[in-house]
Amino acid sequence: MKILVILAHPNLEVSRVNQRWNEELLQYPNDITIHELYKEYPNWSIDVPREQSLLEAYDHVILQFPLYWYSCPPLLKKWLDDVFAYGWAYGSKGDKLKGKKFGLAMSIGDEKENYLPEGSITFTVDEVIVPFKASLGHVGAVLLPYFAVFGVSFQASDEEINHSATEYIDYILKHQQ
């Protein structure tokens, strides 16, 4: 089954990492469908039935976004709030996401060592993504290990960005099964 990538970057045109990841994803049209939230919903009026139907068509979903203030961009949060609705995603009759695999692919501005327990941020990435773990667990979905590239605010080299794109595709295809 194909993989759905929900790409949520409010400034994709200036993101070297997410642009490069997107270019790499486009090389796999038979395996990966890309759904750009900020392009699809510039007015933030989310077509909930359409988004729910889209999610129902896939068993494997990747949420791709830059880490913003230790969270996701606001349109992705709104998308989650609107689309993961009672009676559809959870509740006595809400089971549409049960068993679906979700992965997180994040570009992170700060260095990896700062996200270690002794790092300057004082939180690990695993702790930062707890709301995703809780939300996906609540709807019965399976959260895959996350994929992240660190230090993107510190002018990552083209070589590092290209390497991360290759690793990203490997991550997606590895967890496809």
Taking only the tens place, the pLDDT of each residue in 46-63 is 999 999 999 999 999 999
Find the range with the poorest average confidence among 69-73, 110-114, 135-139: 110-114
DSSP letters for 24-72? HHTT-TTTEEEEEHHHH-TT----HHHHHHHHHT-SEEEEEEE-BTTB-
The helix (run of H) or strand (run of E) holding residue 7 is strand 3-7
The pLDDT tens digits of the residues spanning 55-107 come to 999 999 999 999 988 999 999 999 999 999 999 999 999 999 999 999 999 99
pLDDT band at residue 173 under the 50/70/90 scheme: confident
